[in-house]
């Protein structure tokens, strides 16, 4: 019986201890719960942060791989573009060189061919020489003709002067003005006066009046007034050149002098 009582007392004590323990546990339950929540939150935070770090690492790896791939693709595209540009520049340079060579060849051969131009210039030089020679010959011919015309004009003027001064010719009785006794050789005008022969003008010959109208030099040229008027000579003048003029009276001399002045 004593043992049973002891057991009952122990049971009571156990109940009382259990109750105390439970009451103490209930008193500390809020603290433990908060501590557990804090521990759980810290653990979960650590786990989430670890997972986020893991995700960040994986995202960085993925981004790095993608960016590397994109950069390599972009670099390959840039290299292709640079290579294409370089190739096009090279082709353009080669095309320009070929065009330059061909145009130079075509220009030199068909437009400004050196040897053809050289031959052309040689022909021009030859032609210029021929033209110069012809021009020189023409100039010489013109000079000779001019000199001949001047000499002829001078001769005509001298003959006309001799015609006008025929009354100054020397005779056997009276020497002329141009036949000075102090000259060893007769004057040129004296010789020209001797060559000139009288002519009777046609108008005066019809009227039978005496007039020393014309003269003829050694070359057959006649002068009856002026050197330019002696080109057209009538045949009657040539027929009357050997006729001597009749002796004129004072009245006839006055008419002759007036006619001479009028001419």
Q: What percent of the chain has pLDDT over 90?
A: 35
Flag the least confident range among 38-47, 73-82, 138-147, 198-207. Answer: 198-207
Q: Name the average pLDDT for the chain.
A: 76
Highest mean pLDDT among 23-27, 124-128, 151-155: 124-128
* Mean pLDDT on 122-151: 92
Angle formed at CA 232 by CA 227 and CA 238, multiple of 5 degrees = 95
Q: What is the 3-state secondary structure (H, E, C) of 175-229?
A: CCCCCCCCCCCCCHHHHHHHHCEEECCHHHHHHCCCCCCEEECCCCCEECCCHHH
The C-alpha atoms of residue 239 and residue 232 are separated, in whole angstroms, by 15
pLDDT in tens, 40-62: 899 999 999 999 999 999 999 99
pLDDT in tens, 90-115: 999 999 999 999 998 888 888 877 78
């Amino acid at each position: 019986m004593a043992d049973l009582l002891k057991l009952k007392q122990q049971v009571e004590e156990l109940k009382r201890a259990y109750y105390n323990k439970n009451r103490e546990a209930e008193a500390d339950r809020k603290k433990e719960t908060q501590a557990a929540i804090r521990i759980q939150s810290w653990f979960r935070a650590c786990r989430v942060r670890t997972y986020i770090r893991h995700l960040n690492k994986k995202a960085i790896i993925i981004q790095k791989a993608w960016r590397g791939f994109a950069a390599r693709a972009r670099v390959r595209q840039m290299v292709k573009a640079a290579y294409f540009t370089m190739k096009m520049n090279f082709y353009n340079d080669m095309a320009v060189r070929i065009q330059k060579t061909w145009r130079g060849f075509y220009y030199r051969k068909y437009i400004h061919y050196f040897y053809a131009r050289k031959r052309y210039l040689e022909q021009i030089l030859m032609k210029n020489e021929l033209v110069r020679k012809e021009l020189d010959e023409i100039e010489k011919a013109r000079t000779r003709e001019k000199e001949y015309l001047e000499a002829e004009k001078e001769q005509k003027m001298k003959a006309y002067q001799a015609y006008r001064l025929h009354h100054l010719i020397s005779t056997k009785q009276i020497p002329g003005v141009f036949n000075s006794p102090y000259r060893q050789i007769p004057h040129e005008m004296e010789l020209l006066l001797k060559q000139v022969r009288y002519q009777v003008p046609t108008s005066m010959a019809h009227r039978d009046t005496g007039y020393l109208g014309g003269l003829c030099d050694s070359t057959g040229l006649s002068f009856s007034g002026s050197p330019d008027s002696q080109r057209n000579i009538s045949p009657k003048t040539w027929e009357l050149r050997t006729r001597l003029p009749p002796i004129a009276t004072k009245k006839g001399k006055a008419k002759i002098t007036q006619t001479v002045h009028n001419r």
